[in-house]
Chains A and B, each alone.
Chain A
Amino acid sequence: MFETALSWNDLAFLAQGAAMTLAVTAVSVAAGTVLGILFGVLRFQLGPYWAAPLTFVLDIFRSVPLLIQLVLGNALQSIMRLGWGPFTTSCVVLSLYTAAYCTEIVRGGIGAVPPTTRRAARSLGLTWFQDMRYIVFPLATRVSLPAWIGLTLGVMKDSALVLWLGLIELLRASQILVTRLQEPLFILIICGAIYFIISFPVARFGGYLEKRWSPND
């Protein structure tokens, strides 16, 4: 029962897949966070009415399955003859997807800073940008960071869907091995364990931060 045809080469193949998963996640989360901060500040500054178009567009990214978004993104890039590879397409779509969620987190974080604190800062002569940099940023980070960690892990898990565009990430790598070795359960357990090992400690750290940084404790 415990004999397996899995070799070290195959494990290296899985590790390459995991590296691809992490690469896609890192690029998308980095780009998505920058966009998310930009959109979040914009949404907060514009108010509900003027930001309505932005809110609507970002809402689409949260209400349409990621798989459909990826297929649409891929179709669109070939229609527009951009000539992007699967990696670029995946990263672009995932970045926008991340940005949509990150916007909510950033907006929530900024909204959690008491307006009186900000007014006090402005009365002391800080410019809007200084207020943002020295007052809002540190306070909003406390509220938003645990949620942002959760989002990062969510994107890491959702990045499994890029296999549909033909990118060989962790899940696709294990699927290829399953097809070759015909040991689905064993290989899938290894694959799941890798996801778990990446995700679990970070999730625990996020939970710890949430507990540690929760206001009024």
Chain B
Amino acid sequence: MFNYTFHWNQALRALPQMLDGALVTLQIALLSMAIGLACAIALTLFRLSGNRILGGFATAWVEIARNTPALFQIYMAHFGLGNFGIHLSPYTALLVGIAFNNAGYLAENFRGALKAIPDTQTRAARSLGMTSLQAFRYIVLPQMLRIAFLPATNQMVWAILMTSLGVTVGMNTDLAGVTQELNARSFRTFEFFALAAVIYYVIAKAVTLAARLFAARMFRY
């Protein structure tokens, strides 16, 4: 069936390099998730603030992040910002693009979670003398993060998968980038990318499992 000799040895010999790449991938994903989370909380606050300009800004961010491809957002960070004299390295551009995307999706998750928290709780907190920011910080935010935890886990897996897009803007240190460089050197495309796929699969599963254990420990009550 195959008139082709597989050279798995070559791919396996490059495994240490690829695992180094996997670390970079994980690093970008975690960083982008942290930045995205912070931005998403800010966007949620903007939307709640009732201020039209801030609310409009947040809505625009969320809708653009959700209605254009992630690859487009990374291109925008890498090529588009050049017009303003901002030249980002592939690493930064990838990070900015994914963080922007994460923030949009997470903010939308938070909005869904907010709907599940009764309005009366905020009012009760306010009548106990909390400021609106305190009520958000101590009453709404903990519950919101708990409800939004599972969708956020999915978003984390998405972030890991999205890091592979960096290779299209010349990223060569993450898993996809390293694999592409090795591929360009030897043309053993299938072997190298199959190994990369296995590594991505393991990372994605490990992150899902870790999140599940974390949730079981954090949200016992």
Query: Quick check: is A63 within 8 A (CB to CB) of the other chain?
Result: yes
Interface residues of B, count at CB 8 A? 41
Tell me if B66 and A68 are in contact (CB < 8 A). no
With A and B bound together, what is the CA distance between A38 and B167 in angstroms?
Answer: 35
Name the CB-closest residue of A to B3.
A81
Tell me if A76 and B201 are in contact (CB < 8 A). no
Tell me if A68 and B164 are in contact (CB < 8 A). yes
Contacts across chains A and B counted by CB atoms under 8 Å: 108
Tell me if A192 and B64 are in contact (CB < 8 A). yes
In the complex, what residues of B have CB within 8 A of residue A186's CB?
83
With A and B bound together, what is the CA distance between A80 and B1 in angstroms?
Answer: 7
With A and B bound together, what is the CA distance between A195 and B69 in angstroms?
Answer: 8
Query: Quick check: is B100 within 8 A (CB to CB) of the other chain?
Result: no
Q: Can you list 10 residue pairs at the A/B interface with Cβ under 8 Å? A: A63-B205, A64-B204, A65-B164, A68-B193, A68-B197, A71-B189, A81-B3, A164-B168, A184-B82, A196-B68
Name the CB-closest residue of B to A157.
B69
With A and B bound together, what is the CA distance between A72 and B179 in angstroms?
Answer: 12
Query: Quick check: is A66 within 8 A (CB to CB) of the other chain?
Result: yes
Tell me if B69 and A64 are in contact (CB < 8 A). no
In the complex, what residues of B have CB within 8 A of residue A144's CB?
none
With A and B bound together, what is the CA distance between A90 and B210 in angstroms?
Answer: 33
Tell me if A63 and B157 are in contact (CB < 8 A). yes
In the complex, what residues of B have CB within 8 A of residue A200's CB?
63, 67
Query: Quick check: is A106 within 8 A (CB to CB) of the other chain?
Result: no
In the complex, what residues of B have CB within 8 A of residue A69's CB?
197
A20 to B: closest C-beta gap in Å: 14
Question: C-beta contact mask, A128-168 vs B, less than 8 Å → 1, else 0?
Answer: 00000000000000000000000001000110110110000
